[in-house]
Structures are given as structure tokens and as C-alpha cells.
């Protein structure tokens, strides 16, 4: 009975999803010229099976603070990386890692990116989501991408580490 309960808990914790699609009006502004590879990001969180609210994004100076999950109140989180079209077909390769997304193995979740985007279109979102870790503390959202455009000699390299603070349940409402 105990192992069955543990398996059910682990299965519900591994609700990590990966999606690719067109971003509509929500993509943060990406720095750089429109003729080059560009990327931006958003982190959203809220009660599991509820509506996630925007917590932080790449084009705003605000701290990223998430409420930890608890047994009585699991919290969901979705991280989205937006890939922007350049003046020619653009190939993006790399990954992003979210150490605050709980997985059965621990250590966070890593999403691989290998995607081509055509010029003139909307930004494309690559997203991963799941349950916020139940361990308060300092965590990170890391992005490492190469953006290649035909005719450009060197690929554009994106590397960014965003500090994410996970606070105890209820602490984000008190501040």
C-alpha cells in the first residue's frame, strides 16, 4: 500500500510537458537586431490545476520568487523560452534547465532545443512545466543556445543564468 501511494505521488510529480508553438502577444521583447538570432523567456507559477500568473520575464527587472509546493497545496510552474525569427531561416540548438521543477530523479528538469524557425513569422515558444520543488532556497533557470543563420559566419551564442528563489508555502503572500 505504501509503495503504491509513493508511485502515485511520483507519477503526479512528473507532469513535465514540452511544447512548441507560435507565441501570441506574450513574448517578451528580445534584445538585438531583427536580422539576428534572439531569445527571451517568461516564468509563470500558481496553484496546480489553477491559473498560473507571470512571476518574472527577461525584459523586466524583477526578482523571480516562487512559492514551494506542499502536500496540501501543490504549486505548478511553466518556463517558456521564445525563439525569434531572423532575416533568414534560423536554427536554434541547446537546452534550458530549471532546477526548481521537481522530478522523480531530483536535480530539476532539462529541456533540449533543436528547432528551425522561418523569417517573418511570430516568435516560437518552447515550454516546460511541472510541480515547483518543495525545497525552499536558491535555484536557477539556465539557458544555453546557439542560433545559426545562413550567411552569418559565427553562430550567436546565448548563455544566461537567472536566479530563482523558492520560498516556503505561504511566504510569497506575506511579502
Q: Is residue 9 predicted with pLDDT exceeding 50?
A: no
Sorting pLDDT into bands at 50, 70 and 90, what band is 25? very low
User: Tell me, what's the pLDDT at 121?
Assistant: 82
User: Tell me, what's the pLDDT at 172?
Assistant: 63
In whole angstroms, give the CA distance from residue 174 to residue 118: 45
Work out the average pLDDT over 34-45. 92
In whole angstroms, give the CA distance from residue 97 to residue 79: 10
In whole angstroms, give the CA distance from residue 70 to residue 58: 28
Residue ranges of domains in the chain, CATH in brackets:
2-174 (2.60.40)
**What digits encode the pLDDT tens for the residues 110-161?**
999 999 999 888 899 999 999 999 999 999 999 999 999 888 888 889 999 9
Please give the sequence-ordered ranges of beta strands (E in DSSP) within 16-107, or none if there are none.
Answer: 17-22, 38-47, 53-57, 64-67, 75-84, 90-98
Average pLDDT taken over every residue of the chain: 82
In whole angstroms, give the CA distance from residue 17 to residue 32: 29
Residue 9 φ then ψ, to 5°:
-65, -40
CA neighbor of 172 nearest in space, from 164, 40, 72, 79 = 164
User: Tell me, what's the pLDDT at 43?
Assistant: 96
Give me 168's grid cell: 516556503
Query: In what side-by-side order are the strands of the sheet with 53-57?
Result: 17-22, 124-131, 75-84, 38-47, 53-57
* Residue predicted with more confidence, 107 or 155: 155
**At a CB cut-off of 8 Å and minimum separation 6, what does 53 contact?**
44, 45, 46
User: Tell me, what's the pLDDT at 17?
Assistant: 36
Grouping H, G, I as helix, E, B as strand and the rest as coil, residue 6 is: helix
**At a CB cut-off of 8 Å and minimum separation 6, what does 19 contact?**
125, 126, 127
pTM: 0.82
Amino acid at each position: 500500500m505504501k509503495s503504491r501511494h509513493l508511485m502515485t505521488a511520483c507519477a503526479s510529480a512528473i507532469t513535465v510537458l514540452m511544447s512548441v508553438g507560435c507565441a501570441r502577444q506574450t513574448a517578451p521583447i528580445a534584445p538585438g537586431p531583427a536580422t539576428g538570432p534572439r531569445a527571451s523567456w517568461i516564468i509563470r507559477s500558481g496553484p496546480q490545476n489553477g491559473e498560473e500568473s507571470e512571476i518574472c520575464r527577461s525584459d523586466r527587472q524583477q526578482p523571480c520568487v516562487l512559492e514551494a509546493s506542499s502536500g496540501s497545496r501543490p504549486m505548478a510552474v511553466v518556463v517558456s523560452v521564445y525563439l525569434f525569427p531572423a532575416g533568414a531561416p534560423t536554427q536554434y540548438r541547446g537546452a534550458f534547465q530549471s532546477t526548481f521543477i521537481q522530478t522523480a530523479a531530483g536535480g530539476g528538469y532539462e529541456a533540449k532545443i533543436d528547432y528551425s524557425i522561418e523569417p517573418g513569422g511570430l516568435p516560437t515558444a518552447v515550454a516546460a512545466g511541472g510541480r515547483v520543488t518543495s525545497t525552499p532556497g536558491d535555484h536557477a533557470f539556465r539557458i544555453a543556445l546557439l542560433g545559426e543563420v545562413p550567411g552569418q559566419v559565427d553562430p550567436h551564442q546565448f548563455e544566461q543564468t537567472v536566479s530563482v528563489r523558492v520560498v516556503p508555502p505561504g511566504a510569497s503572500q506575506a511579502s
